[in-house]
Amino acid sequence: MIATSITGDSAGAANQLLDLLSNADAYKEKIDALAKATAENKKYVDAIAPASEIPSLVAQMKADKQELAALIAKTQSDASSAQKEATAQQKETLDTAKAKAAAIVAAAEAKNADAENNLAKTSQALADAKQATAVANQRIAEYNQKLKVLVASQVTVDALTAETQAAKDDIIAKHEAFIRGL
């Protein structure tokens, strides 16, 4: 068969070239295949850029790659710095929040202790008031009893006073009658 290598490295290339030139159909077929392959490859080359611009595009790509690598390194460095700074700020914020929370808890515990102390004082005052009320009610009952005795005594005194007055009036009347009779 005829060699298709562009470099012509295949063994017997000279003989194949003579065979190709002696057979016009085979020659035309090879030229058509080469034109078709060239056209196909040209689409890819033209899609990228004209062939004359490929070396400058390769150089530009290398420069862009280096620039991108530098940008990635800077971005990684910036990200690392930002992460360290964010971690420090987070720790500071967390420490501040913990301190504020501890202060709030301490204040709440102090208010709770005050409230419990006030509740204990109020409970004691209520118990004292109940005891004082009970004592007062007992004294009122005793005074009412004494008042009943005093009222009864007053009635007795009034009756005795009236009886004494009557006896006195009777004695005076008898005495006056005796004196008149003398």
Reported as a single tens digit per residue, the pLDDT across 112-165 is 999 999 999 999 999 999 999 999 999 999 999 988 888 888 888 888 888 899
Residue with tokens 């005093």: 150
Contact between 50 and 44 (Cβ < 8 Å): no
Rounded Cα gap, residues 16 and 9, in angstroms: 12
Domain boundaries, the chain: 1-48, 49-181
Rounded Cα gap, residues 10 and 37, in angstroms: 20
Total residues belonging to the chain? 182
What predicted TM-score, i.e. pTM, was given to this entire model? 0.38
Mean pLDDT, residues 96-123 taken together: 93
pLDDT of residue 174: 87
